[in-house]
Amino acid sequence: MPPKADVWKGTLALMILRTLDMLGPLHGYGVARRIEQTSDQLLAINHGTLYPQLMKLEEDGYITGAWGVSENGQRAKFYRLTRAGRRQLRKATQDWEQAVAILAKFRAPEGTR
């Protein structure tokens, strides 16, 4: 099994927003698990960095959290995307796609640019 890659700086927020957009309300642990699954276990998410990021997104108004009961019957905080979060997701996705496109041009073979 290849070694897991760290999450690239600045992309964790995008992954969280995307995950919540796809799956609806989810607790922090669920988000972490989902990101790992989506990356086919290629990404090693440091759970310790996830929560500060979640709280920051909540503070910025992109997601909102509410306490509920998790699958093991414990109290857990469930996050969902807000309208501002959706807008932010669209914007971040566009930025990301643009960045990828630019990078793609750099790795295209000579003469095809």
Partner 1 sequence: MTQWIRRLINLFRRERMERELEAELESHLGLETDRNLRAGMPPAEARRVAHARLGGVEQVKERWREARPLHGLAASWLDVKLGVRMLVKSPVLSLVGGLGMAVAIAFATGVFTFMTFYYSDVPVEDGDRIVALDYLALSDDRSTLFDFQLWKEELELLEDLAAYRTVSRDLESPIMGSGPAKVAEMTASGFGTLRVPPLLGRPLLNSDEAEGAQPVVVLGHREWQTRFFADPDVIGREVRLDGITHIVVGVMPEGFRLPVNHGFWTALTTAPRLVEPVRGPQVHVFGRLAFGVEAEAAEAEAASIGEWILSEYPHLYERRQVAVRPYIHTALGLEQVPAWVIWLSQLFAGLILVAVAVNVAVLFFARTALRRAEIAVRTALGASRRRIVTQLFVEALALSAAAAAFGLLIAQVAFRQVTFLADLRDVIPYWLLEGLPPETLLYAGGLAAVAAVVVGVLPALQATGRNLEGTMREMGNGSGLRMGRTWSLLICVQVAVAVAVLPAVVGIAWNYVLPPVTMFPASEVLAFELRPRSALRADGSGRPDQDAAYGALQEELLRRVEALPEVDGVTFSSRSFSWVYFEFEDGTVSGERNFSNPVGVEYFATLGVPLLAGRAFDRDDAVEGTVAAVVNRAFSEEYFPGGGALGRRFREVTPTGGGLGESGPWFEVVGVFEDMLRSARDGRTRPQSYHPVPLGTEVRRLAAHMRGLGPASVIARANEIAAEIAPAGFELWAQPMSTRYAGDPREFRFLLLGASLATLSVLLLSAAGISAMMSFAVSQRRREVGIRTALGATRRQVVASIFGRSGRQLGVGLVLGAAGAALVDRLSGESLLQGQVGPLLLFVAAIMLLAGLLATIGPTLRALRIQPMEALREE
Name the residues that contact partner 1, by CB under 8 A: 27-29, 32, 46-49, 51-53, 55-56, 59-61, 70-72, 74-77
Q: How far is the CB of 83 from partner 1 (least distance, A)?
A: 12
> Among residues 75 and 113, whose Cβ is nearest to partner 1?
75
Burial of 20 from C-beta contacts in 10 A (0-12 / 13-18 / 19+): buried
Q: How far is the CB of 93 from partner 1 (least distance, A)?
A: 20
> Among residues 32 and 89, whose Cβ is nearest to partner 1?
32
> Among residues 66 and 101, whose Cβ is nearest to partner 1?
66
Q: How far is the CB of 65 from partner 1 (least distance, A)?
A: 8
Q: HEC string of 9-58? A: CCCHHHHHHHHHHHHCCEEHHHHHHHHHHHCCCCEECCHHHHHHHHHHHH
